[in-house]
A and B are shown apart, each in its own frame.
Chain A
Amino acid sequence: MKHLLAVPLLLAASLASGAEFAVLRPQQSSIIFVSKQMGVPMEGSFRKFTARIAVDPASPETGSARIDIDLASIDTGSTDGDEEVAGKAWFDTKNHPVASFISGSVKPSGKERYEALGKLSIKGKTLDVKAPFTLKQNTDTLIIEGMFPIKRLDYGIGTGVWSDTDTVADEVQIRFHFTIAKK
């Protein structure tokens, strides 16, 4: 009985110390993507997402993150674009409304630099990604900022006529900026 109680208690204790910063400030956070169309860099963003990030600045390696993106909240820069990418050839938001990134592994890679290893799921495909980021601590917030490339076609984003990568490049840069406040 003692043992059985000990496990949840230990877990709770580790979460309490490790999750000092855990509240996302959406107004000061962003998820931006940059793709190239005919050689022209085009920036877009997702207006709605939730991020449950638990980081202890003293030991970021113990951090974990789950980010869920509401794909219908996409802003491609034009109404035409927004309507197009909701369709079957792109995100198919009707059947796959949410993209998620889940990471339970963070490795240090330099001063204030880390790499989150995790799984990115979009449109029913889940692939391993490495997301390098920097971590800066202010008095009451933590700033997590980074970027990583993905290949859109790996996830079946932009199929059919859109799979022509001379028009819309395969590589898409994902840039994230999260402001996390103390609990």
Chain B
Amino acid sequence: MNTLYRYTRTAITLHWAVAALIFATFPLGVYMHDLTLSPYKLRLFSYHKWIGVTIFLLAVLRVSWRSTHRPPPLPAAMPNWEKLAANTVHYLLYTLIFAVPLSGWLMSSAKGVQTVWFGVLPLPDLLAKNKELGDLLKEVHESLNFAMFGLVLAHIGAALKHHFIERDEILARMIPILGRGA
């Protein structure tokens, strides 16, 4: 496959790293939030936050990389509405990989629990402790996550549709081994 038509190795690695971490920490968040208080729960909350901070940092790397390495163009044959839909979903997903961890970090601050990355590196508390604000930010964090869940489904659905129905090279841009050698 022509390298012009796929993402760079770095962009691919960052994409899949963020994807894998989201697939780990999203279900973890859904599972852990209702558990009764235990050391197990405290550990899971910490892991969830560490992963979230990591996603945020990878998001920074991704956007910096993307700003200097333009992604491959969408196939010319794609209808305009599909291009618009693809670009909109990508844009929203980029926004969310910043907004979701950020809302979690703010929520943690407002709930009076500092975030300490890997139990070693303390992040500054961006907000003072405030119960009402903490509860509100919990709602925000949850809503943003479910919005992301919907967008990720659309994103995956579109990738599969391109690969198995339209049988084009869209998915191979992110998984070069799937290239059909066109």
Q: Which of B39-47, B90-98, B158-166, B172-180 contacts A (4 or more CB under 8 A)?
A: B39-47
Q: How far is the CA of A43 from the CA of B114 in the complex (A)?
A: 11
A89 shortest CB reach to chain B, Å: 10
Q: How far is the CA of A38 from the CA of B47 in the complex (A)?
A: 10
**Which chain A residues border B42 with CB–CB below 8 Å?**
37-38, 167-168
The residue of chain B having its C-beta at the shortest distance from the C-beta of A158 within the complex is B39
Q: Is the interface of B mostly helix, strand, loop or mixed?
A: loop
B112, A40: Cβ atoms closer than 8 Å: no
**A36-48 CB contact bits vs B (8 Å, 1 = yes)?**
0111111100000
Q: Is the interface of A mostly helix, strand, loop or mixed?
A: mixed
**Which chain B residues border A78 with CB–CB below 8 Å?**
111-112
CB of A161 within 8 Å of the partner chain: yes
A77, B46: Cβ atoms closer than 8 Å: no
A40, B37: Cβ atoms closer than 8 Å: no
Categorize the interface residue count of chain A: 10 to 19
The residue of chain B having its C-beta at the shortest distance from the C-beta of A87 within the complex is B37
Known: A81-B37, A161-B38. A40 touches B114 (CB 8 A): yes
CB of B119 within 8 Å of the partner chain: yes
Which A positions have Cβ atoms within 8 angstroms of B?
37-43, 77-78, 80-81, 84, 161-162, 164, 167-168
Which B positions have Cβ atoms within 8 angstroms of A?
36-40, 42-43, 45-46, 111-116, 118-120, 122, 129
